[in-house]
């Protein structure tokens, strides 16, 4: 299931976090996903757990809205591998607060779990552990002290720049 890296105006790398802005497409809360080692986009979504190409991921969004690419300064390959290997564990899209529960999951919790299991880091900077009970909201990922913003682009522009 290896894919060729997607060419965009911003270079996507394994382990990158893709954050979608608040819009009707994201039910007004935002959405986030992880780029896998195979350059597929791994995310928990109300319609299921997905391994999307970038084009498929973008197609889930309306033309309005923005996507921000976030990058960890270390451990990206391990994070990407964990996400790719564990997306199949997600069974239900549910805002379940037990951070150790992979089966009942949602997008930002899946990102948090990837960082915790791959690096034993709380990406939110709030000293959470796998035993913590907490809802991980998408702004916690978007504004993580452990991620660097690489760039932001409008979905409508990104659709035009995707080369398959």
Residue 59 CB contacts under 8 Å (≥ 6 apart), including other chains: none
Cα 153-110-81 angle, rounded to 5 deg: 85
Domain 17-161 CATH (choose: 3.40.50.1370, 3.30.110.40, 3.90.1170.50, 3.90.1720.10): 3.90.1720.10
pTM of the model: 0.87
pLDDT surpasses 50 at 6:
no
Closest-CA residue to 75 (of 33, 3, 14): 14
Query: Which tens digits make up the pLDDT trace of 29-45?
Result: 578 999 999 999 999 98
Residue with tokens 């994201």: 26
Q: In degrees to the nearest 10, what's the CA dihedral of 17, 52, 139, 149?
A: 30
pLDDT computed for residue 24 by the predictor: 45
Contact (Cβ atoms closer than 8 angstroms) between residue 110 and residue 51: no
């Amino acid at each position: 299931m290896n894919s060729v890296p997607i060419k965009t105006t911003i270079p996507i790398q394994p382990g990158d976090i893709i954050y979608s802005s608040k819009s009707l497409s994201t039910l007004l809360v935002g959405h986030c996903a992880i780029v896998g080692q195979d350059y597929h986009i791994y995310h928990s979504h109300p319609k299921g757990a997905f391994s999307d190409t970038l084009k498929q991921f973008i197609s889930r969004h309306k033309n309005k809205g923005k996507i921000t690419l976030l990058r960890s300064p270390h451990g990206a390959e391990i994070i990407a591998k964990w996400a790719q290997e564990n997306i199949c564990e997600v069974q239900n899209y549910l805002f379940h607060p037990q951070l150790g529960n992979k089966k009942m999951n949602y997008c930002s919790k899946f990102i948090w779990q990837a960082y915790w299991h791959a690096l034993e880091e709380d990406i939110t900077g709030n000293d959470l552990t796998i035993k913590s009970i907490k809802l991980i909201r998408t702004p916690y990922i978007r504004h993580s002290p452990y991620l660097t913003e690489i760039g932001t682009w409008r979905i409508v522009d990104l659709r035009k720049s995707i080369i398959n």
